[in-house]
Amino acid sequence: GEDVEQSLFLSVREGDSSVINCTYTDSSSTYLYWYKQEPGAGLQLLTYIFSNMDMKQDQRLTVLLNKKDKHLSLRIADTQTGDSAIYFCADPQGGTSYGKLTFGQGTILTVHP
Amino acid sequence: DGGITQSPKYLFRKEGQNVTLSCEQNLNHDAMYWYRQDPGQGLRLIYYSQIVNDFQKGDIAEGYSVSREKKESFPLTVTSAQKNPTAFYLCASTDRNTGELFFGEGSRLTVL
CA distance A59 to B76: 38
Instruction: Encode pLDDT of B44-86 as tens digits.
Output: 999 999 999 999 999 999 999 999 999 999 999 999 989 899 9
Instruction: Report which of B66, B37, B63 is spatially closest to residue B50, judged by C-alpha positions.
Output: B66
Q: Which residues of A touch B40 (CB under 8 A)?
A: 8, 105-106
Q: Which residues of A touch B48 (CB under 8 A)?
A: 99-100
Interface contact flag, B99 A97, Cβ < 8 Å: yes
**Least CB-CB distance to A99: which of B94, B104, B105?**
B94
- Interface membership of B84 toward A (CB under 8 Å): no
A93, A98, A107, best to mutate vs chain B, most B CBs in 10 Å: A98
Instruction: Report which of B44, B51, B49 is spatially closest to residue B82, judged by C-alpha positions.
Output: B44
**Least CB-CB distance to B99: which of A4, A35, A99?**
A99
Instruction: Encode pLDDT of B85-108 as tens digits.
Output: 999 999 999 977 777 889 999 999
CA distance B24 to B5: 5
Reported residue count of chain A is 113
Report the residue of chain A nearest B108, measured CA to CA. A40
Q: What is the CA radius of gyration of chain A?
A: 13
My answer on whether omega of the bond before A113 falls inside 30° of 0, hence cis, is: no
Q: Which residues of B touch A48 (CB under 8 A)?
A: 98, 100
Tens place of pLDDT for every residue, chain A, 113 residues? 678 999 899 999 999 999 999 999 877 778 899 999 998 889 999 999 998 899 999 999 999 999 999 999 999 999 999 999 999 999 887 655 567 888 999 999 999 99
Instruction: Report which of A110, A93, A99, A112 is spatially closest to residue A43, judged by C-alpha positions.
Output: A99
Q: Distance between the two ends of chain A, CA-based, in angstroms? A: 41
- Interface membership of A7 toward B (CB under 8 Å): no
